[in-house]
Amino acid sequence: MPILTRRVFAAGLATLALPAVIRPARAAPRALTVASLLGDDKPETKIWVKVRDLVEARLPGRFDFRIVGNAALGGEKEVAEGIRLDSVQASLSTLSALSTWVPETQLFDLPFVFRDRDHVRRATTGPIGDEFKAKLTDQGFVTLGFVNYGARHLLAKEAVTTPGGVAGKRIRVIQSPLHVELWKAYGALPTPIPITETYNALKTGVVDMMDLTKSAYAGFRLYEVVPYLIETAHIWATGAVYLSAGFWNSLADDEKAVFAAAITEASAYFDTLMEADEITSMEAAKAAGGQMIAPEDRAAWVKGAEDVWTSLAPKVGGIERIKALAAL
């Protein structure tokens, strides 16, 4: 064997004899499914893009956010069930939809209890907000923040400006006892329907009207079937930003801290986006033929809802607690 070849062969044997250097494989990112009711251009989806980016900046490569928009995973009730089963790991929900599991949250949903955005913010960041976070978390909805969807307004096929105009009309409502009670108080016929089925229900005449925020009014293109938005602002819609208990409990302490901080920051971001989105939403609705009109005799609207405060008081901590919130 030539000398050069012998040396190469010997070097090869020496190399094989060396202990192997083992590099641990990088763990694949953990997937989490995030459900949003609306599209990429809406705050309901943008908040999760923000959370994703904040988490990635602090925990690079650990998580794979799979954001599924346009209600592809169902309406609020279906998503809430998915959260409890851990088939969905993160989402937003109105407290109205979650009141099935935590009836006390209807306190924030009472008609005419809030005056404006600042009033809502004081409530959600105070002791009552902390109490509701704990109660929701106990039911499997690990709530790390609250968001403000804006005020709910009456949407109708005709210009209904007084409570009397609602009487006898079939109105789509959230699947919540409070919302049923509210519209019964005005003489309407409440019909609980998931938001994903609302457009067709209005188009085909199953119902005549509904209520919703300005942003969602445009997001679901409802101005095509209910062209009048009557600015009643009867309820300020508060939402929970939550994770599934299964996903949360699987996180390490440092990961929990990052998710909590990210959701706190993104919740404030959502509220800023929502204020701006209401303006662009109304511009889009007007361009498509929608009309925004003021209600007549607001005092009559407020008075018509008084019985709802009385009937819901035992479920939300008593009438004095309602009055204290209204005066906050």
The answer on pLDDT for 22 being more than 60 is: no
Confidence label for 176 from pLDDT (cuts 50, 70 and 90)? confident
Give the torsion sign (CA, 221, 171, 201, 95). positive
Mean pLDDT of 29-47: 97
Lowest mean pLDDT among 11-15, 49-53, 219-223: 11-15
Confidence label for 175 from pLDDT (cuts 50, 70 and 90)? confident
Residue 201 located in a structural domain: yes
Task: Look at the block and give the residue holding tokens 């009552």.
Answer: 128
Residue 1 located in a structural domain: no
In 3D space, the residue among 213, 225, 199, 223 whose CA is nearest the CA of residue 271 turns out to be: 213
Residue 124 located in a structural domain: yes
Residue 225 located in a structural domain: yes
Mean pLDDT of 145-161: 97
pTM above 0.75, yes or no: yes
The total domain count for the chain is 1
The answer on pLDDT for 171 being more than 60 is: yes
44 or 19: which leads in pLDDT: 44
Report yes or no: 171 and 191 within 8 Å, Cβ to Cβ: yes
The whole-number pLDDT of residue 8 equals 40
The answer on pLDDT for 173 being more than 90 is: yes
Rounded to 5 degrees, φ, ψ at 15 are -65, -45
Query: Which CATH number belongs to the domain containing residue 194 in this structure?
Result: 3.40.190.170
Query: In whole angstroms, how far apart are CA 326 and each of 107, 116, 214, 252, 315?
Result: 10, 11, 23, 40, 17
* Mean pLDDT score of the chain: 92
195 or 34: which leads in pLDDT: 34
Residue 79 located in a structural domain: yes
For 68-87, write each residue's pLDDT tens digit.
999 999 999 999 999 999 99
Residue 200 located in a structural domain: yes
Confidence label for 177 from pLDDT (cuts 50, 70 and 90)? confident
Confidence label for 49 from pLDDT (cuts 50, 70 and 90)? very high
The answer on pLDDT for 19 being more than 50 is: no
Residue 312 to residue 305: CA distance in whole angstroms: 11
Residue 11 located in a structural domain: no
Confidence label for 27 from pLDDT (cuts 50, 70 and 90)? confident
Residue 5 located in a structural domain: no
- Domain of 57 in residue numbering reads as 28-326
The whole-number pLDDT of residue 26 equals 63
Query: In whole angstroms, how far apart are CA 286 and each of 10, 98, 149, 198, 231?
Result: 83, 32, 20, 20, 14
The answer on pLDDT for 21 being more than 80 is: no
| CA angle (138 as vertex; 30, 103 as ends), nearest 5 | 125
